[in-house]
Structure 1
Amino acid sequence: MDFYLIEEGYHGNITMSNSTEEPLTSMTDDYSSYYDYDNNQTSFVCEQDDIRTFSKGFLVTIYTLVFILGFLGNGLVVCVLVKHRNQTNMTDMCLFNLAFSDLIFLLTLPFYSHYAMVGKWTFGDFMCRFLSCSHTTGFFSSIFFMVVMTLDRYMVIMYAHKVARYRTTKTCFSLIVLIWIMSVCVSLPTFVFTKLENDGETVSCFYGPDSEGWVYYDLFATNILGLVIPMLVMVACYSRIIPTLVKMRTAKRHRIVKLIISIMIVFFLFWAPYHISRFLKFLYSIDLLASGCSVETSIKVSITVSEAIAYTHCCLNPIIYAFVGQKFMRRAMQLLKKWAPGPVSFTESSFRRSSVVSKSSVTSTVIM
């Protein structure tokens, strides 16, 4: 992902920012080298102080909002599920780990907001590596758990009787452990190759692989595992689930179908622009796009904006996967009422009116 400080090493040469310029940072990415690097195809240096100023203010603002909203939403999901841990099923366990993944991802944002604001890394080498790896692990584990929840819905709805005996606590626990192991393994190169660079004026935390192969791994692993495969799984599963739901005799089936479609559309709209922008940057770095300051500027702005938009998706996960469910909403409101009795005035009947799900176990599984 582009949250490592990077990738001007496509030609085997990692360059750092000019000591006379204030480095631009987007998460742990060092985009200043992107402006100063001639890409083996040009002799110009693009002056982009306005872009740097815009990016700093924009990223700090967005990261702060995403952290606050995402932490509140995902934190509430974790608290509710922990409180009712004795009543959880496979869906609840996956939902808990999805929220936990998003929290890991979110907890790195204050550090990167500070990095973007002051223009240098002040937290040391280990934190540089650890936070970059944690950020990547949170990203991949969140995606993987969304894929697993999609596959689980598909199996329950299409093959309910056959899979019922396999949806045990032991099976779910084994699957969760496997997902976390996969997420950490995919993220390990980030920990290995992320490092500090001190040029005398500033300290940068960046992803500096030893070879082009690891740069390509970062790009294509993120695009394929972070967008292509999840999108294909969602389209394949939900395209078969929707006709089945339409045939069911439930009054709210159309609202459920709309929600499922919304899950796919929201995921694509929030993440696709970011992955496309990174891929365009890769094409530019290997001389497949026309060179010029206008191209560099366009790519930089698109990456900055699309990255910030993509990260806001973790704020929506609690709404999409948790708060639309009647059972979860009831538990959440009970917990909020316990914490703050005054402002919470929801009654049992309000849950029935506001819930998107019906009382059928199948449709509840679909939404949750």
Structure 2
Amino acid sequence: MENISSPDYSNKSCDHPMNYCENNRTDANETATTEQYFHPDFYVLLPVIYSVICAVGLTGNTAVIYVILKAPKMKTVTNMFILNLAIADDLFTLVLPINIAEHLLHYWPFGEVLCKVILSIDHYNIFSSIYFLTVMSIDRYLVVLATVQSKTMPHRTYRAAKIVSLCVWILVILIVLPFTVFARVFTITDDLDRKSCVLSFPSSESFWFKASRIYTLILGFVIPVSTICILYTMMLYKLRNMRLNSNAKALDKAKKKVTIMVFIVLAVCLFCWTPFHLSTVVALTTDLQTTPLVIGISYFITSLSYANSCLNPFLYAFLDDSFRKAFKKMLECRPA
């Protein structure tokens, strides 16, 4: 993700989503000016926020992975998608300390290979969450439709969910591949010759920058969110207008709870990610000046998108009785 991981706003391509920059190459004087926008304590606060997100995200998502893999009753189709969602969030929180280190050091000390890995995982975080939620929404729609029509779903199996999850990962890897190619370590020409891990586009940089933003917006937001909205609209329409027979007067309690949980997880994801993608529209359609307000808003937007990686485990704990019981049982068994 075009994350904010250094106070040098001008040394990272689109470091904050509302700011426009070409190929990360700007005057060092602009960097110095930008660094004076905020009190130094502000730059200490950001690593603290990122560290909390990292600690909570790692703990929560690791617990989700552990429970789903260890508890036999948790091996369901929906939980397979939740497992992959937790793996994607865990993967992102695992590399967040490197972003924190770069923020504190004000330069990139980790080499080009790790630069490509980190920027790739940052972008996996943009696409993987929404794609797995799209798959979960498709699954919910099919379950509701089958229940309404009193049909069985013989092909909806745990094994099939594994195959679909693998296909999602392959798709996300292919989507992120261009960012992996363009990621590299760039040396900023100033008194310190600092290195920065950036997306370095060929000329013309302006075209490639806009193309990458549109690419991310369409594939990471417009297409999946439109699909989800259509699915839920159709789901509500069918539930409202189709006359259910005596065996399917309504979704049973368990299916209702799962559907509600998926909907709430989706809503939280959209709440966290919509400002990020809206800022892309702003970056593409306006010429915002780098002001303290713009920088502050962009930091907030990035932190909000990061926070999504640690919120889902709490939603599962509050909304899913089976997850809560399985986790409690694991804790009870552990001392023994």
In which range does the TM-score fall when normalised by the shorter chain? 0.7 to 0.9
Of the candidates 84, 87, 106, which is equivalent to residue 93 of structure 2?
106
The aligned residue for residue 269 of structure 1 is 271
The aligned residue for residue 15 of structure 1 is 25
- Of 309-318 and 247-256, deviating more is 247-256
Is 1:175 equivalent to 2:164 in the alignment? yes
- Of 200-209 and 53-62, deviating more is 53-62
- CA drift at 1:163: 6.4
Counterpart CA distance in 1 for 2:331 and 2:256 is 30
The aligned residue for residue 313 of structure 1 is 308
Of the candidates 38, 62, 67, which is equivalent to residue 80 of structure 1?
67
Q: CA RMSD in A?
A: 3.3
Cα distance 1:166–1:252, how it changes in 2: closer, same or farther (>3 A)?
closer
Letter of the 1:210 partner, please give it. P
Contact 2:56 2:310 in 1 (8 A): yes
Cα distance 1:326–1:317, how it changes in 2: closer, same or farther (>3 A)?
same
- Taking structure 1 as the reference length, the TM-score comes to 0.73
SS in 1 for 2:196: strand
Is 1:189 equivalent to 2:183 in the alignment? no
Cα distance 1:300–1:263, how it changes in 2: closer, same or farther (>3 A)?
same
Counterpart CA distance in 1 for 2:89 and 2:182 is 23
Of the candidates 36, 39, 43, which is equivalent to residue 56 of structure 1?
43
Counterpart CA distance in 1 for 2:209 and 2:179 is 10
The aligned residue for residue 89 of structure 1 is 76
Counterpart CA distance in 2 for 1:80 and 1:90 is 15
Contact 2:23 2:199 in 1 (8 A): no
The aligned residue for residue 358 of structure 1 is none
Cα distance 1:299–1:315, how it changes in 2: closer, same or farther (>3 A)?
same
- CA drift at 1:181: 0.7
Cα distance 1:251–1:244, how it changes in 2: closer, same or farther (>3 A)?
farther
Letter of the 2:162 partner, please give it. F
SS in 2 for 1:196: strand
Q: 5+ unaligned residues in a row in structure 1: which ranges?
A: 22-34, 37-44, 342-368
Contact 1:194 1:205 in 2 (8 A): yes
SS in 1 for 2:154: helix
Counterpart CA distance in 2 for 1:311 and 1:11 is 22
Counterpart CA distance in 1 for 2:315 and 2:223 is 20
Letter of the 1:298 partner, please give it. L
Counterpart CA distance in 1 for 2:154 and 2:53 is 39
- CA drift at 1:250: 6.2
Of the candidates 282, 294, 309, which is equivalent to residue 299 of structure 1?
294
Contact 2:75 2:158 in 1 (8 A): no
Of the candidates 226, 233, 241, which is equivalent to residue 232 of structure 1?
226
- Taking structure 2 as the reference length, the TM-score comes to 0.79
Counterpart CA distance in 1 for 2:80 and 2:256 is 27
- CA drift at 1:69: 0.9
SS in 1 for 2:197: strand
- Of 128-137 and 170-179, deviating more is 170-179
Q: 5+ unaligned residues in a row in structure 2: which ranges?
A: 5-11, 241-248
Cα distance 1:15–1:324, how it changes in 2: closer, same or farther (>3 A)?
same
Contact 1:48 1:297 in 2 (8 A): no
Contact 1:67 1:109 in 2 (8 A): yes
Is 1:203 equivalent to 2:195 in the alignment? yes
Counterpart CA distance in 2 for 1:330 and 1:62 is 30
Q: What is the identity percentage for the equivalent residue pairs of Structure 1 and Structure 2?
A: 24
Counterpart CA distance in 2 for 1:102 and 1:13 is 28
- 1:252-263 to structure 2, matched below 5 A, reads 262-263=264-265
Higher relative contact order (CA 8 A, sep 6+): 2
